[in-house]
């Protein structure tokens, strides 16, 4: 699903993003509710940021990647931790692209997410390559999502990947 966000694009950058786990729902500009084989997932666009809310019989989990005032947790390259009965894995990377590369990658990602039944993308009015996009899926007992945050003024694209799944016992 593609939506135009009803807000002005603010001049943020990839370096302003912070990561948080367990935050309450923040005001969203667009949402997509999904049922993925027993897991309720809500994808939330917060402007140049995202929040994912996951609810399942084993518990709940919330991930926020946003410009969070007063946050002391910058965007990490990777996180792996236990959340209740789940294993939570998060990874992020920042790509810096030329103007031509950026435009092509933006079009490719927006097409991918827009055509996906579990995808949500938001673009900013007057800024065709400024967007936040999200995709969710369930695979082999895990819920996974990917997100992309585009900052055309800097040619930066932030990509994140998250997996939440049942904790696997350690091999003997």
Q: What is the model's pTM? A: 0.89
Q: In whole angstroms, give the CA distance from residue 108 to residue 153.
A: 18
Strand partners, 12: none
87-138: pLDDT as tens digits: 999 999 999 999 999 999 999 999 999 999 999 999 888 887 889 999 999 9
Bigger pLDDT: 68 vs 88: 88
Kindly list the domain boundaries of the chain, sorted by start residue: 2-166
Beta-bridge partners for 21: 63
Express each pLDDT in 7-58 by its tens digit: 766 657 788 888 989 989 999 999 999 999 889 999 999 877 899 999 988 7
- Contact between 92 and 76 (Cβ < 8 Å): yes
Q: What is the pLDDT of residues 133-152, one digit of tens each?
A: 999 999 888 999 999 999 99
Q: How many CB atoms lie within 10 A of CB 98?
A: 9
Contact predicate 18/68, CB 8 Å: yes
């Amino acid at each position: 699903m593609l939506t135009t966000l009803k807000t002005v694009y603010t001049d943020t950058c990839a370096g302003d993003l912070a990561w948080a786990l367990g935050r309450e729902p923040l005001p969203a500009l667009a949402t997509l509710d999904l049922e993925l084989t027993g897991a309720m997932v809500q994808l939330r666009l917060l402007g140049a940021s995202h929040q994912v809310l996951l609810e399942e019989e084993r518990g709940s989990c919330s991930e926020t990647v946003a410009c969070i005032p007063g946050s002391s947790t910058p965007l990490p390259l990777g996180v792996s931790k236990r959340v209740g009965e789940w294993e939570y894995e998060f990874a992020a990377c920042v790509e810096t692209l030329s103007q031509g590369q950026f435009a092509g990658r933006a079009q490719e990602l927006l097409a991918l997410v827009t055509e996906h039944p579990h995808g949500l993308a938001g673009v900013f009015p007057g800024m065709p390559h400024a967007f936040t996009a999200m995709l969710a899926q369930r695979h082999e007992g895990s819920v996974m999502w990917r997100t992309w945050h585009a900052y055309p003024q800097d040619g930066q694209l932030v990509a994140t990947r998250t997996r939440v799944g049942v904790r696997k016992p350690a091999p003997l």
